[in-house]
Structure 1
Amino acid sequence: MPAHRPVAAATLPEPSADARAASEALASDIAGSIAAAGGWIGLDRFMEFALYRPGLGYYGGGASKFGAAGDYVTAPELSPTFAQTLAAQLQQLQACCPAQIIEVGGGSGKLACDLLLELERQRGLPETYAILELSGELRRRQRDTIGHRVPHLLSRVRWLEELPERFSGVVLANEVLDAMPARLVRWHADGISERGVTVAGGRFAWADRPAGGPLLDRARALAAECGIGRPYLSEIALAAQAWVTQWARILDQGVLLLIDYGFPRREYYHPQRDAGTLMCHYRHHAHDDPFYLPGLQDITVHVDFTAIVESGCSEGLDLLGYTTQSAFLFNCGLTDILARTPVDDTLRYLPLANAVQKLVSPAEMGELFKVMALGKRISAPLRGFSTGDRSASL
């Protein structure tokens, strides 16, 4: 079983004995798969094992992931204001297409709770609300959260374990694309290689192989388009692009609403970003070592939003808007939502204002996080992109 490679320049909290044992079991499992594959697997395969292996992977196991007790804080966990503001965009969309919502990757279930409560307040509950969730452990957690917080709305929610054959309505994906397995590519003087994972000296280690097939074609095209110098290391998220293509084929009418951190292509492959965007999150510590405690930490890459829009539009979707999270939330009435709480009610207002600051501040989530809408048979301009639309940057 591979030993855990120490994270450089970081002192991270020690896991419990049970958590460490689970991580060691997963590491042994991954090592066996590497041996069976001839001694090497791509980063995408490593991420699949580390994140999604049933019972042991980060999303397939039972560890707490979200909020103060987890590894990172998402926008829905910060404040119900995020969902309450997002509901304004969903309300508009429900007037443009069937009132059905699929939330992809439902997290703790908090976003669903807050959205349903706000839509109920606005007398705009959807006809159906489904959560597409591959993890059985997270499905149970979501059901418990919704049943505890909004028991009268639990019967409206159903769970999906695979993509539907056809769908009309809104597909909502908050921080989903960043956790999809990605390939890691190195452009260098002798050519283009794919960086993958091997086992050396009893530890997981990086190893390069010549890139080939569609990955090599994509890497060459990116080098030509973005002027990628050498040496240069970065990710190509073919799985995320394929996922958007799938939804484009499934969607009869409606919108794919994507919220995640990332950049347009030319910013993603900027000369100064020559080490890529791979990032791991463990107990609110961020670092760049995916081999540390497999199954106990999140592994993510930023989103190339240009690739996402190209994938959707090539299959018949229209780009309806692309902007920062900050602009989107203000366009959807964030100020009015915040004003519901009196300023002189300091015990409630101050924590709320602090959370909102994190959602919109350029130094926090406001600038790095983007919102993109891809749609089919939607003609009305969307409220969330009424000002600050950056579609031209893609």
Structure 2
Amino acid sequence: MGDNRRVNAPFVNQPGSVASPLTARILTAIDAAGGQMSFERFMSMALYEPGFGYYAAGTPKFGHFPSQGSDFVTAPELTPLFARALARQVAQALAATGTQEVWEFGAGSGALAAELIAELDALGQPVARYTIVDLPGELRARQRERLAAFGDRVRWAEVLPDRIEGVLLGNEILDAIPVTPLARVGGVWHERVVVRAGDGFAWADRPTTLRPPLDVPGEHDYCTEVHPQTEAFVRTIADRLVRGMALFIDYGFPEAEYYHPQRHMGTLVAHRAHQVDDEVLDRPGEKDITAHVNFTGVALAAQDAGLDVIGYTSQGRFLINLGLVELSQGADPRERSRMQMLVHEHEMGELFKVIALTPSGGGAGWVPIGFAHGDRTHRL
């Protein structure tokens, strides 16, 4: 990178410490690549490197408290009321599209799958098959144990077939797809890459032709992300989904909010022990790394690849439309309190969004009940 390189905030091991096997692998890969690595590749190795990445290693991740060894809690882990409400939307989509299979990406501990299958049975819309698309490893072992009672109705896959008919679900999956960080420094856009700093890592900036999809007004320094891998994933879904619906739930914004001039620090963060920090290069494999979702980018990629957007709204509005409040009436006070976290605008209710996609024309004749009121598709 010559004189164009700008190195910031190195993350190095403490004196006398030994680099982890994953850190050593990443350092070797950086050296082999000539001294720098795209952050996309760093994030991919940190999260998914077989045997060592955050989601590939056998450490606890999901739970209510740090004392459980967990790093964060997802909606299905927070309360089964989430899955019971979601089942109403899945049941409607299965019936409306004439399909019988659910595909879940990144099923975590299996909590959503277990509750969803049981609730679909109770609603009289049982699934013939529930397919989990996930990496092999410790999480899959936990899923198999939790879902054993459903027998061969549940299966696992690492790749998608050429044709899919059914309802595809992704709860907090898009935020874990590697991103490309960009930094405007002195009015010039750079791609932010990873370099060696002793036995650790540091950021370095290299000039790039990449730009955010919207102009960011002002001349102030500005950090953000673009999402080529997320958009490629959505196009893959579009290529495979011939009948049914894809539903993604995650934290994020439409484009105008994502690239707002005041959001100058970007959204890239790490999670560990229920704490959030921005030291995403520190201790790879020991932290979750995430970025918010640009839902406008998801919608445009879907439309360009032949899918229709048939709904987009906040998680709070989506779950209320599905009857979550009514479902919570018989629950104990603790469950009702957790239900409030799912819908309250200062908790998960507004930060999390829901988007629904179907093959072109596949949404004709029916309106997903989760978007019956408060649809925000016009704001994408």
Regarding TM over 0.5, the answer is: yes
The equivalent of 2:347 in structure 1 is: 364
Distance 1:378 1:353, change over 3 A: same
Matched residue, 2:169 = 172
1:391 and 2:377 matched: yes
Taking the TM superposition and a 5 Å limit, the aligned residue runs for 1:69-218 are: 69=68, 70-97=70-97, 98-147=99-148, 151=149, 153-189=150-186, 191-212=188-209, 216=210
Give the SS at the match of 1:233: strand
CA–CA distance in 2 between the matches of 1:178 and 1:100? 24
1:39 to 35, 41, 44: 35
Structure 1 range deviating more: 180-189 or 244-253:
180-189
In structure 2, the partner of 1:30 is 26
- Deviation, 1:5, is 4.3
Q: Which amino acid in structure 2 is aligned with residue 127 of structure 1?
A: A
d(CA) in 1 for partners of 2:93 and 2:199?
53
Aligned residue identity for 2:336: A
Counterpart for residue 252 of structure 2: 262
The 3 A distance-change label for structure 1 pair 121 and 178 is same
Aligned match of 2:55: 59
Q: Please state how far the C-alpha of 1:221 moved relative to its aligned partner.
A: 4.4
The 3-state SS of whatever aligns with 1:222 is: coil
Q: CA deviation at 1:370?
A: 0.3
Amino acid paired to 2:183: R
Aligned CA-pair RMSD? 1.7
Distance in 1 of aligned mates of 2:21 and 2:317: 44
Task: Check 1:375–1:312 CA distance in 2 against 1; reply closer, same or farther (3 A cut).
Answer: same
Normalising by structure 1, what TM-score? 0.88
Instruction: Give the length in aligned residue pairs.
Output: 361
Contact 1:59 1:135 in 2 (8 A): no
Q: 1:85 to 1:31 in 2, by over 3 A?
A: same
Q: CA 1:59–1:362 in structure 2 vs 1: closer, same or farther (change >3 Å)?
A: same
The alpha-carbon distance between structure 1 residues 248 and 40, as it changes in their structure 2 partners (threshold 3 A), is same
2:378 corresponds to which letter in structure 1? A
Distance 1:154 1:109 in 2: 14
Alignment partner of 1:337: what SS?
helix
| 1:374 alignment partner in structure 2 | 357
By how many angstroms is 1:31 displaced? Answer: 0.5
1:161 maps to a residue whose letter is E
Question: Is 1:222–1:228's contact at 8 Å kept on the other side of the alignment?
Answer: no
- The CA deviation string for residues 74-114 of structure 1, in whole angstroms up to 9 with x for no partner, is 00000000000000001100111212110001100010000
How far apart are 1:220 and its partner, in Å?
6.0
Aligned AA (1:316):
G
What SS does the aligned partner of 2:348 have?
A: coil
Name the SS of the counterpart of 1:328 in structure 2: helix
Pairwise mapping of residues 226-375 of structure 1 onto structure 2 (< 5 A)? Answer: 226-227=216-217, 229-341=219-331, 349-375=332-358
Q: Deviations over 1:215-237 (max 9, x none)?
A: x2xx16432xx546442110101
Deviations 1:97-136 (A, max 9, x none): 2121100011000100000111111121112110001232
Q: CA–CA distance in 1 between the matches of 2:212 and 2:225?
A: 13
SS in 1 for 2:282: coil
**8 Å CA contact retained: 2:187, 2:219:** no
Question: Residues 141-178 of structure 1: CA distance to partner in whole angstroms, max 9, x if unpaired?
Answer: 1101112xxx1x13210001112211011110000000
CA distance in 2, matches of 1:190, 1:360: 40
One-letter amino acid of the counterpart of residue 258, structure 1: F
Contact 1:85 / 1:334 at 8 angstroms: preserved in 2? yes
Note closer, same or farther for the CA distance 1:190–1:340 as it changes in structure 2 (3 Å cut): closer
AA of the residue aligned to 1:46: F
Do the aligned residues in 2 keep the contact of 1:100 with 1:170 (CA within 8 Å)? yes
User: SS of the residue aligned with 2:262?
Assistant: coil
Deviations 1:270-295 (A, max 9, x none): 11101100011001111110122211
Which stretches in structure 2 are left out of the alignment for 5+ residues? 1-9
Shift of residue 4, structure 1, vs aligned partner? 5.1
Alpha-carbon distance in structure 1 between the residues aligned to 2:124 and 2:218:
51
One-letter code aligned to 2:223: L
- Residue aligned with 1:185, SS: strand
Distance in 2 between the 1:260 and 1:74 partners?
10
Instruction: Letter of the 1:287 partner, please give it.
Output: D
Q: Deviation digits for residues 332-384 of structure 1, max 9, x if unmatched?
A: 1112211233xxxxxxx111111101111111100000000011212211100
Which secondary structure state, in structure 2, belongs to the residue aligned with residue 366 of structure 1? helix
Cα shift at 1:329 = 0.3
Contact 1:134 1:162 in 2 (8 A): no
SS at match of 2:349: coil
